[in-house]
Structure 1
Amino acid sequence: MRIFFVMLLSLVTSMAANAANTESGGQFKVLGNWEVHYIAFPSTFIQPNVAKAYGVVRGDNKALINISVLAKDGVKTAQQVQISGVAKNLLGNGQNLEFKQVVEGDAIYYLAQLNYYNEDVYRFEVKIQQGTQQHVLQFQQKFYVD
């Protein structure tokens, strides 16, 4: 199942990177001692059996946000962190993001879902904390209904 999920994320990442109007095609940002990878995409990109296995609700207006935090230690060790966030559309209407941790072997992912309308643009602000180290990941994404 893990290999399938990693392959799916690679596919989604390449699709998103090639889409003309997306800003986060599986990008990462360096925040302090971390390399924070993030991607936001329509939940319908995931097959029903995979969505069910991860507790993801598929829908034409539901996005999936996937974040992973890696140490900048040369090995890029996955980090267990506390993560919370909010997504606001351009009108300032916000949705709290409730992240669920997924651990698969050495990999750790944080998944959250977001409801959106066609061509909504959301600005994400995600707080990531581990002990006394805290950083904020900010990015923007435009969503389309399938």
Structure 2
Amino acid sequence: MGRLALFLLTACLSVTAMAADVIKGERKETFGDVTVHYNTFNSTFLTPDIAKSAELIRSKNQGVINVSVIKDGKPLVSNVSGTVKDLTSQSVPLKFKQITEQGAIYYIAQYPVEQQEVRTFDIKVQTGDKTNTISFQQELFPGQ
């Protein structure tokens, strides 16, 4: 699983660095002393071994969203939920699962990517008694 953490960190940095609307190559939101890092990418970016170890479907028509929550420089166990909407406002719930390994905690979910289009992601992150919401849009492309 150490390779999964390394891959997700690398994917987070490389995929978000490509996004034109992201300042300094990061996608993150800060809520007081809690920072939420997030990114999304096509599952074909995962190697077969990584996809298998994370129990993810590796397909040109599947996207992955990765969320991590940090407080005081350390990962924070959280409750992460959300939806992804297409341009017709058809919504698909995101079923996040927690991945914990070697001092890192990630929340990952998959969603379908049938065609090139802009999608709206609404992510709720609950830490203790606080719930924070992140909304962002991203153009998605089916993989090769």
- Measured against the shorter chain, the TM-score band is 0.7 to 0.9
Q: Give the conservation status (yes or no) of the 8 Å contact 1:22–1:141.
A: no
SS of the residue 2:8 aligns to: helix
Aligned to 1:48: 48
Q: Give the conservation status (yes or no) of the 8 Å contact 2:4–2:54.
A: no
Task: Determine what percentage of the aligned residue pairs are the same residue.
Answer: 32
Runs of 4+ in structure 1 over 2 Å off: 4-26
C-alpha separation between the residues in 2 aligned to 1:14 and 1:101?
Answer: 20
The reply on whether 1:64 has 2:64 as its aligned counterpart is yes
The reply on whether 1:87 has 2:84 as its aligned counterpart is yes
Q: Give the conservation status (yes or no) of the 8 Å contact 1:16–1:22.
A: no
| Structure 2 stretches lacking a partner, 5+ long | none
C-alpha separation between the residues in 2 aligned to 1:78 and 1:104?
Answer: 11
SS of the residue 2:114 aligns to: coil
Alpha-carbon spacing, 1:10–1:102, altered in 2? closer, same or farther (3 Å): closer
Alpha-carbon RMSD: 2.1
Q: Give the conservation status (yes or no) of the 8 Å contact 1:23–1:142.
A: no
Counterpart among 33, 51, 75 of residue 78 in structure 1: 75
Query: How many angstroms does 1:145 deviate by?
Result: 1.4
Aligned to 1:137: 134
SS of the residue 1:44 aligns to: helix
The reply on whether 1:105 has 2:102 as its aligned counterpart is yes
Query: How many angstroms does 1:54 deviate by?
Result: 0.5
Deviation by residue 1:73-94 (Cα, 9 ceiling, x = unmatched): 2xx1100011110111111011
C-alpha separation between the residues in 1 aligned to 2:107 and 2:19?
Answer: 26
The reply on whether 1:125 has 2:119 as its aligned counterpart is no
Q: Give the conservation status (yes or no) of the 8 Å contact 2:40–2:64.
A: yes
TM-score, normalising length from structure 2?
Answer: 0.87
TM-score, normalising length from structure 1?
Answer: 0.86
C-alpha separation between the residues in 2 aligned to 1:10 and 1:19?
Answer: 15
Alpha-carbon spacing, 1:22–1:51, altered in 2? closer, same or farther (3 Å): farther
C-alpha separation between the residues in 2 aligned to 1:13 and 1:103?
Answer: 16
Amino acid in the other structure paired with 1:85: G
Amino acid in the other structure paired with 1:92: S
Bigger shift: residues 4-13 or 125-134:
4-13
Alpha-carbon spacing, 1:106–1:83, altered in 2? closer, same or farther (3 Å): same
Query: How many angstroms does 1:63 deviate by?
Result: 0.3
